[in-house]
Amino acid sequence: MASLWGRCERRYFLLLSAIAFATLGCCQAAIASTLNPIDCRQATLARPGNGRSFTGIISNDDYGFSVEIPKAYTGWDGAASDAPFHGFAIFLDPQMKSCILFEIRLRADYVDMSKVRWTRTLVHLGAAPGWQSTKNGLVAGTYTTNINTMFSSRQRGETSDGEILLIAPTSRLSEVRGLYDAFIGSLKFEP
């Protein structure tokens, strides 16, 4: 996806190599690759009104998942209508200070994620395992929190990896955390 996959590919590759599993492909937001938190404008080129829009329950047979976008919100991928699906950004305020980014891609080289040691919190996404971490810090003068959930799902002989990132000013975290948790709770992978 053009909007979530180009700018930070190199940093993401280095991070994934450092934690001892094969590259997942390319990624635009490089969500987990930065040591410091990032803001929505740094994380994605997607913008409201640009590219394909997604509302309600999204089902994708290629990756074998469904997820529900929170009511009154829209996901935007910033990609051309004929581009492959790799995810979207949900902006939670008009200033684009808070957002949820959802990315998914097929793994190029298979490595069993269940055997990788993680220092993150384990979460369950239906039939897919996930790991969650949090970063806090100053971004453009605003104290910002990033909550990142990485996941891996093996179906039909292929493995999909992805990330769901919440970016929010720390002062708004309690306000938007429920939307993020509901979004993650709605993500289901076929067994």
20 — pLDDT class (breaks 50, 70, 90): very low
In the predicted structure, residue 123 carries a pLDDT above the cut 80: no
110 — pLDDT class (breaks 50, 70, 90): low
Non-local CB neighbours of 71 within 8 Å, separated by 6+ positions = none
User: Given this model, what pLDDT does residue 19 score?
Assistant: 29
User: Phi and psi (nearest 5°) for 114?
Assistant: -70, -20
User: Given this model, what pLDDT does residue 152 score?
Assistant: 84
User: Given this model, what pLDDT does residue 157 score?
Assistant: 79
Higher pLDDT, 86 or 157: 86
In the predicted structure, residue 158 carries a pLDDT above the cut 90: no
* pTM attached to this predicted model: 0.76
Non-local CB neighbours of 157 within 8 Å, separated by 6+ positions = none
Q: Are 17 and 39 in contact (CB under 8 A)?
A: no
Across-strand partners of 57? 68
112 — pLDDT class (breaks 50, 70, 90): low
| H/E element, 58 | strand 57-60
Question: What share of residues in the chain are helix, strand, coil (percent, to 5)?
Answer: 20, 35, 45
**All domains in the chain, ordered by first residue:** 9-189 (2.60.120.1690)
Non-local CB neighbours of 24 within 8 Å, separated by 6+ positions = 12, 16, 105, 107, 108, 161
Across-strand partners of 122? 131
DSSP states along 116-172: S--SSEEEEETTEEEEEEEEEEEETTEEEEEEEEEEEEEETTEEEEEEEEEEEEGGG
| Average pLDDT, rounded, for the chain | 77
91 — pLDDT class (breaks 50, 70, 90): very high
Q: Give tens-digit pLDDT for 60-78.
A: 988 888 999 999 999 999 8
The tokens for 103 are 């990315």
User: Given this model, what pLDDT does residue 109 score?
Assistant: 63
One-letter amino acid at 141 equals: G
Higher pLDDT, 45 or 1: 45
Q: Are 184 and 173 in contact (CB under 8 A)?
A: no
